């Protein structure tokens, strides 16, 4: 197989769902928007869980801690994604044309 043939075989490696997502215009901006929405939802769920626990409603401490940790991990992931995007932008700005 020549190098050109291996490049032509790349579209066959992409699953149909991924190729539909790329062709339908779901880009990196949409991915970031979804990540923000999911993080916001996880934070809201953790806040509700803490409020319910403080109000004395029948919710176990374990479920509250799980909701809080899920929100924390989601936020950490979002911050790391932001850091990588900023680093990539700064690297592009340092390139000479």
Q: Structural domain tally of the chain?
A: 1
C-beta of residue 77 within 8 angstroms of C-beta of residue 48: no
**What tens digit of pLDDT does each residue of 75-89 get?**
999 999 999 999 999
Both tokens of residue 77?
Answer: 């992931």
User: Which domain range does residue 62 map to?
Assistant: 28-94
Report if residue 48 sits inside a domain: yes
Helix (H, G, I), strand (E, B) or coil at 97: coil
Question: To which residue do tokens 């809080």 refer?
Answer: 68
> What pLDDT does 2 receive?
59
**pLDDT tens across 42-96, in order?**
999 999 999 999 998 867 889 999 999 999 999 999 999 999 999 999 999 999 8
Give pLDDT, residue 97: 77
Whether 7 maps to a domain, the answer reads: no
Instruction: With respect to residue 38, please indicate whether it lies within any of the assigned structural domains.
Output: yes
Q: What pLDDT sits at residue 96?
A: 85
| Mean pLDDT on 8-19 | 58
pLDDT surpassing 80 at residue 26: no
Higher pLDDT, 7 or 45: 45
Residue 50 within a domain: yes
In sequence order, the 6+-apart residues with CB closer than 8 A to the CB of 74 are 38, 39, 42, 43
Q: Are 75 and 43 in contact (CB under 8 A)?
A: yes
Is 21 within the bounds of a domain? Answer: no
The answer to whether the beta carbons of residues 36 and 78 sit under 8 Å apart is: yes
């Amino acid at each position: 197989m020549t190098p050109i043939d291996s490049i032509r075989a790349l579209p066959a490696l992409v699953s149909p769902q991924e190729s539909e997502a790329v062709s339908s215009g779901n880009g990196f901006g949409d991915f970031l928007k979804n990540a923000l929405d999911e993080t916001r939802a996880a934070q809201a769920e953790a806040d509700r869980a803490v409020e319910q626990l403080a109000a004395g409603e029948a919710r176990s401490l374990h479920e509250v801690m799980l909701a809080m940790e899920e929100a924390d991990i989601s936020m950490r992931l979002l911050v790391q994604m932001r850091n990588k995007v900023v680093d990539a932008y700064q690297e592009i700005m340092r390139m000479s044309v």
